[in-house]
Amino acid sequence: MINWWKALAIILLLYTVIAGFLIGVPRLAILNETIRNLYFHVPMWFTMILLFLLSTIQSIKNLGNGSMEADRKAIEYVNTGIIFGVLGTITGSIWAQYTWGAWWTNDVKLNGSAITMLIYLAYIILRNSMEDEQKRARISAVYNIFAFVMLIVFIGILPRMTDSLHPGNGGNPGFDTYALDNNMKLVFYPAVIGWILLGLWIASIRLRISKIKENIES
């Protein structure tokens, strides 16, 4: 089933690639043309965080009414979010090598996001390690809520309290204060929406497959 929002995802992402490379960007030292990575690297993280948030909401729902569907949704949102997190890490690493001079630095945001990814990988392992369905749903839901709290701490709070190479953290000004000019906003916001819709699309397919599996098993 192709909904309007899936078509919108396609249009926005094609627009992101075309406008993202052809529309002018501010000329900044060191960054040079790599500033265009903003349209691709940053939305990976936004998409991951949104998918993890949706997963957390499903976990809370599961704890509230014991819904097994909420449990299935929670794991599929995390499975999809991890993909975007991995892509965000790899793209960030390449970008770092050519602007900060190293594949990996001890930047708080880098280590924070790495720890967050490990926490979520542990969630998947924890969930797969239990046989009893009710128990599995309950324990992994509690862990999942804890994981999202840790995400907020490691990605949202800690990088803002110390110095970070990332713009908008510590003493560094954000992109929007000097670099994200109106031209860039014209591409950046549609890019974020497009990548998020793509993430939701992939998650929805995973969800439907897991529902079919559930139907076959029962």
Min CB(211)–other proteins separation in Å: 8
Q: What is the length of the chain?
A: 218
* Cβ 111 to other proteins shortest distance, Å: 31
Dihedral angle over CA of 142, 148, 151, 152, nearest 10 = -120
Whether 59 and 70 have beta carbons less than 8 Å apart is answered as yes
- Contact flags string 35-54 toward other proteins, x per CB under 8 A: --------------------
Contacting range for other proteins; rule: CB under 8 A; set: 17-25, 41-49, 84-92, 152-160? 17-25
Structure tokens at 173: 């000004």
Q: Is 86 in the site for other proteins (CB under 8 A)?
A: no
Closer by beta carbon to other proteins, 182 or else 215: 215
In the complex, least distance from residue 101 CB atom to other proteins, rounded to whole angstroms: 24
Token pair recorded at residue 141: 């839901």
Judged by CB under 8 A, does residue 18 bind other proteins? Answer: yes
146 burial level (CB within 10 Å; 0-12, 13-18, 19+): middle
Q: Does 215 bind other proteins (CB under 8 A)?
A: yes
For other proteins, which is the closer residue by CB, 185 or 208?
A: 208
Smaller CB separation from other proteins, 39 or 175: 39
Structure tokens at 25: 């960007």
Binding to other proteins (CB under 8 A) within 188-207 occurs at 201-202, 205
Question: Could you say which of 10, 114, 115, 130 contacts other proteins (CB under 8 A)?
Answer: 10
Number of residues interacting with other proteins: please give it, by CB under 8 A. Answer: 19
State how far the alpha carbon of 5 is from the alpha carbons of 1, 16, 195, 201, in Å.
11, 16, 12, 9
The string of DSSP codes covering 117-162 is: HHHHHHHHHHHHT---HHHHHHHHHHHHHHHHHHHIIIIIIHHHHS
Judged by CB, which is closer to other proteins: 125, or 216? 216
- Tokens standing for residue 167: 């713009």
Binding site residues, other proteins, CB under 8 A: 1-2, 6, 10, 13-14, 17-18, 21-22, 201-202, 205, 208-209, 211-212, 215-216
